Amino acid sequence: MAELASRRGSIDLDVIHVGDCLDWLPKLPDGCSTLVIADPPYNLGPSFGNERDWRRSADWLPWCIRWLNESKRVLADDGNLFVYGIHHYLCYLQVELYRLGMHYQRQIIWYYENGFATQRSLATHYEPILWFSKTKRYCFREIREPYKSTERLRHRITKNGRLWTPHPDGRRAGDVWRFPTLAGQRFKDERVAHPTQKPRALTDRIVGHFSRPGDLVVVPFAGSGTECVSARALGRRYWGVELNPQYAALAASRLASTQVDIESLLGPEP
């Protein structure tokens, strides 16, 4: 922890810079962050109010390679990189991360029942999220979820000839994460004016289980600020960049009203 703090030097923390992440990321020192969460344009549009409309562009992958290189550079040796995407193009980034020498951990499936339908195709109910680490030693705290059947737990269960005792925190989570999108009336209190806002439940899981309290979370595409909000609420430091000034202002407003959740300040397992 002290070593990470020393690597940060005199950089401003707990801030979202307005501009291009390729201009701002080089200002960060090497190995200063435990967690980078990247939610880049999916190369399917929209323009997010910017001049550039990434829509099936041949320039998208070379551009991604540049910020992926920077993301690897700023990660500490036990650091994690999470990249949101869509199945059309995320596979290209997975190949590039292999080429960069990053260590593949898992492709997480973010599954949501409240998806959307398109003409002459299957309805969309998931988005993939890449999880890579910088080395084989990475920061992680076990994730537990409620057991599916509480009725079954009322009875004695024998596994491999031994009495099985359920874990008090539930079953170990897998690589399919079930979090609804922020569509519909029931999410009106959380939803803000951003077309691809991620749910706090999702970003809280990433920040809370793949970094430690006090660690720096780097967010190259801050958007509405949800990853930064999670970092602040869970006692992490954050550093973000957002190209659109309106979204940066929206994120700043959300952060100003975010309080630290003291009960969440638990460090990951080694």
Mean pLDDT on 181-202: 89
Give the pair of three-digit tokens for residue 93: 């980034």
Residue-level pLDDT at 168: 83
Structural domain boundaries of the chain?
Answer: 2-145+174-261
Inform me whether the pLDDT recorded for 156 exceeds 70.
yes
225 pLDDT higher than 90: yes
Q: What would the mean pLDDT of 221-233 be, rounded to a whole number?
A: 97
Number of neighbours of residue 129 by Cβ within 10 angstroms: 22
Average pLDDT over residues 83-103: 95
Q: Going by DSSP bridges, is the β-strand pair 75-84/237-242 parallel, antiparallel, or unpaired?
A: unpaired
In the predicted structure, residue 270 carries a pLDDT above the cut 50: no
- Write the CATH number of the domain with boundaries 2-145+174-261: 3.40.50.150
The pLDDT value given to residue 268: 53
pLDDT, averaged across the chain: 89
Distances from the Cα of 219 to the Cαs of 7, 52, 71, 112, 185, in angstroms? 18, 20, 10, 23, 28
Res 78: pLDDT:
98
What's the mean pLDDT in 57-82? 96
pLDDT above 70 covers a percentage of the chain that reads: 87
Mean pLDDT, rounded, for 32-50: 82
Instruction: Quote the CA–CA distance of 10 and 29 in Å, as a whole number.
Output: 10
Which run of H or of E encompasses 83? strand 75-84
Alpha helices in 26-114 (DSSP H): 60-74, 90-99
Q: How many residues does the chain have?
A: 270
Is the Cβ–Cβ distance between 228 and 248 less than 8 Å? Answer: no
